[in-house]
A and B are shown apart, each in its own frame.
Chain A
């Protein structure tokens, strides 16, 4: 189905830019029919300008960029990106310290890659079921409702950032607070995981209202 787009000013004939290097390095014979047609189409049609947040480097991660954008205040992307890199560095430092202090048997269990820790922490923080307000007969009920992937990711990131901004000591810097929270979430501890459990408990308490949903 074609979705009507509100703000895009491009002519519909413009194609999206291709950023991944792997798809361009494939030899001609390996391409399927559809991909060959796609290549021919690209030779004829105009292509949209690539947005600055889209990059083809191996170090770029869409989740990390999303998180950086959410941390950004009043358009200060430089500051947000530096905070993010400092956070990842802090995570790496803490994990390396733990690694060098641990005995030989436990050295393999300690995860040192900050990207892996970030992704796992986010996955642990994502709620599985959410609550939505549904009005029936004048009263609003909190009904347990399944969430989409985007919504889950957004909620996990939002909880992490609000937790770091509000419930910590005023003088601690953001990278330190964030690295602490991420490491706790990686081990399924910490206030963000607690918040997720509270949401699950409320959904479980309200499971009788689940029939109010119509989707």
Chain B
């Protein structure tokens, strides 16, 4: 018989190239395939400035009354109240619970993860 023209894959298959040991590796992991014990350092989104509306209202009042404090007493009082409230909130907020945006800062997350590390060995 003349040489039978098999398709290329048949020859390859018969030659045993695709048997388990000779297959090229499907994954070449650059790092170990395990969860690390730390999170990347993400820049905390800074909070916005508080009490800007009260401040602008007070400044408008000042402009009208030539920076005299007596006629602007009401606006000044509201500004002080707003500032005191913001200060109290900032003091209460700085705990280990979630911030106003619902994210923990990366430093706190790292501390927690260090307490409960990923076990990569057999016990």
Which A residues fall within an 8 A CB radius of B? 124, 128-129, 144, 146, 188, 197, 200-201, 203-204, 207, 210-215
Contact = CB atoms under 8 A, between A and B. Distances in A.
A13 to B, nearest CB: 26
Contact of A128 (B49, B52, B68, B76): B76
A83 B70 CA distance: 32
Contact of A211 (B48, B58, B69, B83): B48
Give 4 closest A-B pairs by Cβ, nearest first: A213-B49, A214-B46, A146-B83, A204-B59
A197 B67 contact: yes
Interface in B50-79: 50-52, 55-56, 58-59, 62-63, 67-70, 76, 79
A210 B79 contact: no
Interface of B: 46-52, 55-56, 58-59, 62-63, 67-70, 76, 79, 83, 90
Contacts of B46: 214
Contact of B55 (A124, A197, A210, A214): A210
A200 B79 CA distance: 14
Contact of A207 (B47, B59, B70, B83): B59
26 contacts: A124-B69, A128-B76, A128-B79, A129-B55, A129-B58, A144-B55, A146-B51, A146-B55, A188-B70, A197-B67, A200-B62, A203-B59, A204-B63, A207-B55, A207-B56, A210-B49, A210-B56, A211-B48, A211-B49, A211-B52, A213-B49, A213-B50, A214-B48, A214-B49, A215-B49, A215-B50
A211 B49 CA distance: 6
A201 B90 contact: no
A197 to B, nearest CB: 5
B22 to A, nearest CB: 58
